Structure 1
Amino acid sequence: MTTENTNIPQMVVNITGSWGLWQIRFFIAYLLFSIVCCWHALQLSFLAPEIDYWCVNDNNQSNGTITAATNKCSSDGMSCIEWEYDVGRNESIYRSTIISEWNLVCNRQWLSSFTHSAYMIGGFLSCIIMSHCSDQYGRKPAIIFGWCFSLIGTILAGLSNSIVQFLISRMLIAFGITSCYQTGFVLILEMVGPKYRDIIGLTVTFGWSVGYISLPMIYWLIPDFRLVHAFYAIVQICTIPLYLTLYESPRWLLVNNRYDEAISILREVININGINNNNNNDNELETEIKIMKIKKFVEQQKNQNEDSNVNEQKYSYLDLFRSFTLARITLTIYFVWYANSLVYYGLSLNTNALAGNPFINFFLMGVIEIPAYVASIYLVKYYGNRSILIATCIGAGIGCWASISINMNQYLGLSMVMFGKFCVTCSYSIVYVYTTELFPTVVRTIGLGSSSMIARIASIMAPYVKDLTQLTSLTFSMTLIGFVAFIAGLLVFTLRESSGVEMPDKPEDVELQLEQIEIELE
């Protein structure tokens, strides 16, 4: 690693500015896409709500009576082949669901929970494939590909004629959305300077919260899952102008030796951000000096590569375990992501099991995320990512344990569920930024993608937390996921603080940063 190479981030920020129209434009596009992403990820409660049903036979067709729960799957000793659904009290709420559309009851009931699992499997595959493509071929191709893929999947979901087609469409949506969402997050953090990195990294999560809060309203106003998917597609299409003006990350281009492209984009960004608009002569001279420094650095790198006949190095998942330090960081981050995902989706997808109106419960679970994100921004600003991540992981675990009191006191139990949701929301928003800051540029998307891949495993399991509760008890399931969150908080103690520290570019930089910390402690 050369000394100059460590200055790439600052060289880019010196030219583009830490925050301007270039960054704001993509920030808005990412916020809008985050809203759509949340709609797709959390809509299981409305796609497959808990509605009463009964087996149809001549008797209850004529008199309209509802058979006992034990006869829901059979009639007169024979397996049922047709059902009716109790839409009397829910007629204005659930007009068309995947349960009533494709009879996902009795021996097909598992397909209801698998709808969410299929979505997460698509995201899992995207983490494996697209995070690698993003680091190898660039941020922009991965984002554009993901945007197109998710739009196609959304349209196909609304037109599905069978549950199999719908499940495949859900996987396509997740594959595209995960690529766009994760790579976009990395791109935003590479576009801004260290001063704004933590704040912007946490602020973009507000898009997810807006999606969370608005989702029950959408299904209340449009109680038909096909029309809802049409609405999703229209919203996503509205972001086309913003994505057409997307630029590749100059930082990624420089690190990957594509110097001419990087300089060309930097010149365009200067004009977009209006850096030369005021005090024209002085600013243009200053900018040219900065460009000259970049060019000098470029020539030095080219000469070094030619003299040593060094081929451009390609990085893979194995590089996350290249050294003991990087391997320890990777495994710890993996577990933290797993814990956050298990608790977050375990609480979010089971609002129907809570007492009260499911729409209001879901709305409140979304509202609690707003103060959680606001608190994260201010707490991280004063105490750093590491300390707050530890506190919120442990707090989420305590919230899960305390929610067991729901059997004794409904309101106290609900309060503890909300507290657990508050903590895990803080933790989840912080771990995105924290992970991005810990991994070096050349494997940053691979690191974030593989971490998200581990989280997908937990989210695939999350819909079955309710099934686990039915097989054992609420005490057992909540104690288990609370324990996982608590252990995750303790493991973060082994990691370094990243707030206000320049992000590493190469794996060797991680070792150098650790050595510098050890020297400072001495």
Structure 2
Amino acid sequence: MHFDEIIHTVGGFGKFQKLLYVWISLPQIFLAFHMLVSIFTGAVPPHRCRGSGSSAGSPGSLNFSLLTSGELSCPVHSNQSDAGAFPEGQPNVSCKGGWEYSTETFQSTIVTEWDLVCDMASLNHVGSSIYMFGLLVGALLFGILADKYGRRNIILISLAIQAVFGVGAAFAPNFYIYTALRFMVGTSISGVIMNAFVLGTEWTGSKQRMLAGIVTDYSFGVGYILLAGVAYLIRDWRKLQLAISAPGFFFIFYILVLPKSARWLMINNRNEEAWDLIRKAAQMNGKNFTQDLEMCQVYKAEDKSEIQTKYSILDLVRTPRMRQQSLIVFYLWFVNILVYYGLSLNISDLGMNIYLTQMIFGLVEMPARTITLFTLNRSRKFSQLAFLLVGGSACLLSIFVPNDLSVLRTTLAMVGKFGITASLSIIYVYSAEVFPTVIRQNGIGMGSMCARLGGVLAPMMHFLRLLSPQAPMILCGLLPLLGAALTLLLPETANKPLPDSIQDIEGHKLRFKSLSLCSACQQQA
């Protein structure tokens, strides 16, 4: 008997699974906090260089309202005696007299504390990219460790790392230590996201997996919205960092309530522990678990060690059709994450109140994820294509809106965020169905790596503003449109059997392996 049949017998989504999803959904709220907090902790308030000709020492006399962006307040090479004057041009010198910052919106940020403006502004964006690089490292490291030591253990370790290093970042003495601590938090984020999703999937029946997976996405959206309120109430960056990190220590009780993966235990020949958990799940779900069922052999069709001895990552690109589909899916992962965080991390460029914009962008997450529940069953392919078109077109249209129409620009960005969020939800399901069983794990792993690469590059999109103020939104528009066109080359997978082999993809003659059931299972049949 396959493990999915056992899950169906004990209840595919009963009380046991629902409680499990409560446990794996709660940390998602704090993951959203950590992923997006740099919008506020790394914000650049209006600022001005103290100069010999300016009102040094009297920041209250400076009219910060005239400074609409950090770039306009940076000094340039000039023969003017007043170092506080700001003629038009690109900033290229430092401020020797020190900086004065507006405290109207923020009491303090890492920018105001460590003067990360003008010639030092790039450090702020590089720091965000290093954090995102931590997610890539965490995906590689904790993915391997989870296969070896179990999903539950790695989730617990990742939550501990997140709490310790997150709190540590609130007391960082300088920017470089702060960045290193945030990097460690980033690695822990991947450890929680990946393994919580896998743990939930391995305990859930096949028919409920799509719905159950989106449940955790809703929790991330809740965190997205709540962050706006928390940041509005806490305007000091150190206190804000502490507020989102310290509650992580409460997850210590997960040692008592978070179950292991019975599927993983069986694959690692820890059958007695697995059956104890399965009996507990059956009892909680109100199902009868007979002795005959326990005697059935569980075929390890998804045993990773067996798969890896026959197939490798190279098989993703070895044959023509598989290569085409793999490269397109990898691109879709990359562009979805790049545009998602490109829009999310640069909301201050839209010209509206940063807290209100953050809340609106968070609210958009809910209908965007909900609508995919109705479109996915009709068509994976055209759902992906349509939402990429919506997201890309809205971003592209926003470049034609004048800066003084901030409400219209924000509305278009919101529509773009809606499309990309829905598209991102779809690619999780779609990619799992495009890759055949024998290389599905490799395919999703490579897709995740491409996604993290997009996350690393997302904060760097800000530097495109040096070429043109519209350049970031042009990129956020064109890349999804290209992805929509490439999606036309992918197969439709809705309501179709999953491919098991590369031959299924290439259309060659199939070879099937016969599996015999044990005598007890045959008698039940």
**Shorter-chain TM-score range:** 0.7 to 0.9
1:441-480 equivalence runs, <5 A: 447-474=443-470, 476-480=471-475
2:98 equivalent in structure 1:
83
Please give the alpha-carbon distance, in whole angstroms, between the structure 2 residues aligned to 1:221 and 1:73: 40
- Which of the pair has the greater relative contact order for Cα pairs under 8 Å at 6+ separation? 1
CA 498–151 in structure 1, closer or farther in 2 if over 3 Å, else same: farther
CA contact (8 A) 1:53 1:83 kept: no
CA 236–17 in structure 1, closer or farther in 2 if over 3 Å, else same: same
CA 133–175 in structure 1, closer or farther in 2 if over 3 Å, else same: same
Match of 1:198 among 207, 210, 224: 210
- Structure 1-normalised TM-score? 0.83
Q: Deviations over 1:19-69 (max 9, x none)?
A: 123212221122211111111111222012231222235652355444993
Q: Return the offset for 1:402.
A: 1.7
2:73 equivalent in structure 1:
69
- Decide which moves more: 238-247 or 311-320: 311-320
Q: Deviations over 1:370-392 (max 9, x none)?
A: 11111122222x41433312221
Q: Return the offset for 1:76.
A: 6.2
2:418 equivalent in structure 1:
422
Query: Residue 341 of structure 1 aligns to which amino acid in structure 2?
Result: I
1:134 equivalent in structure 2:
146
Q: Return the offset for 1:491.
A: 2.8
Q: Return the offset for 1:234.
A: 3.3
Match of 2:363 among 347, 364, 367: 367
CA 33–316 in structure 1, closer or farther in 2 if over 3 Å, else same: farther
- Decide which moves more: 231-240 or 345-354: 231-240
CA contact (8 A) 2:128 2:459 kept: yes
Please give the alpha-carbon distance, in whole angstroms, between the structure 2 residues aligned to 1:161 and 1:15: 55
Query: Residue 313 of structure 2 aligns to which amino acid in structure 1?
Result: L
Q: Return the offset for 1:191.
A: 1.6
- Decide which moves more: 237-246 or 138-147: 237-246
CA 186–367 in structure 1, closer or farther in 2 if over 3 Å, else same: same
2:110 equivalent in structure 1:
98
Q: Return the offset for 1:174.
A: 0.6
Q: Return the offset for 1:122.
A: 0.4
Please give the alpha-carbon distance, in whole angstroms, between the structure 2 residues aligned to 1:99 and 1:63: 20
Local SS of the residue matching 1:407? coil
2:514 equivalent in structure 1:
none
2:523 equivalent in structure 1:
none
CA contact (8 A) 2:436 2:498 kept: yes
Query: Residue 428 of structure 2 aligns to which amino acid in structure 1?
Result: Y
Q: Deviations over 1:160-208 (max 9, x none)?
A: 1110111001100010111111121122122211221111112210111
Match of 1:389 among 384, 396, 401: 384
CA 179–498 in structure 1, closer or farther in 2 if over 3 Å, else same: farther
CA contact (8 A) 2:101 2:112 kept: no
Q: Does 1:17 align with 2:17?
A: no
CA 479–55 in structure 1, closer or farther in 2 if over 3 Å, else same: closer
Q: Return the offset for 1:314.
A: 7.0
Q: Does 1:184 align with 2:199?
A: no
1:16-415 equivalence runs, <5 A: 16-57=10-51, 60-64=55-59, 65-66=61-62, 69=73, 71=75, 79-81=94-96, 83-90=98-105, 94-255=106-267, 258-275=270-287, 283-284=288-289, 287-293=290-296, 296-297=297-298, 312-313=305-306, 315=308, 319-322=312-315, 324=319, 327-380=323-376, 382-407=377-402, 410-415=406-411
Q: Deviations over 1:466-504 (max 9, x none)?
A: 321331341x44333322212222333344445556767
Q: Return the offset for 1:340.
A: 0.4
CA contact (8 A) 1:51 1:85 kept: no
Show structure 2 runs of 5+ residues with no match.
64-71, 84-92, 512-525
Query: Residue 464 of structure 1 aligns to which amino acid in structure 2?
Result: M
1:278 equivalent in structure 2:
none
Aligned CA RMSD, in angstroms, stands at 3.4
Aligned residues: 485
CA contact (8 A) 2:46 2:73 kept: no
Q: Return the offset for 1:73.
A: 9.6
Please give the alpha-carbon distance, in whole angstroms, between the structure 1 residues aligned to 2:276 and 2:439: 24
CA contact (8 A) 1:135 1:445 kept: no
- Structure with greater proportional helix content: 1
Please give the alpha-carbon distance, in whole angstroms, between the structure 2 residues aligned to 1:133 and 1:442: 21
CA contact (8 A) 2:75 2:94 kept: no
CA contact (8 A) 1:403 1:413 kept: yes
CA contact (8 A) 1:73 1:80 kept: no
Query: Residue 99 of structure 1 aligns to which amino acid in structure 2?
Result: V
Q: Percent identity over the alignment?
A: 26
Please give the alpha-carbon distance, in whole angstroms, between the structure 2 residues aligned to 1:139 and 1:517: 37
CA 466–198 in structure 1, closer or farther in 2 if over 3 Å, else same: same
CA contact (8 A) 1:339 1:458 kept: yes
Local SS of the residue matching 1:61? coil
Please give the alpha-carbon distance, in whole angstroms, between the structure 2 residues aligned to 1:363 and 1:47: 16
1:463-502 equivalence runs, <5 A: 463-474=459-470, 476-499=471-494
Match of 1:431 among 415, 427, 433: 427
- Decide which moves more: 410-419 or 70-79: 70-79
Query: Residue 418 of structure 2 aligns to which amino acid in structure 1?
Result: F
CA contact (8 A) 1:23 1:192 kept: yes
Please give the alpha-carbon distance, in whole angstroms, between the structure 2 residues aligned to 1:180 and 1:501: 31
Please give the alpha-carbon distance, in whole angstroms, between the structure 1 residues aligned to 2:230 and 2:50: 32
CA 297–113 in structure 1, closer or farther in 2 if over 3 Å, else same: closer
Local SS of the residue matching 1:54? strand
Show structure 1 runs of 5+ residues with no match.
276-282, 305-309
Please give the alpha-carbon distance, in whole angstroms, between the structure 2 residues aligned to 1:493 and 1:73: 51
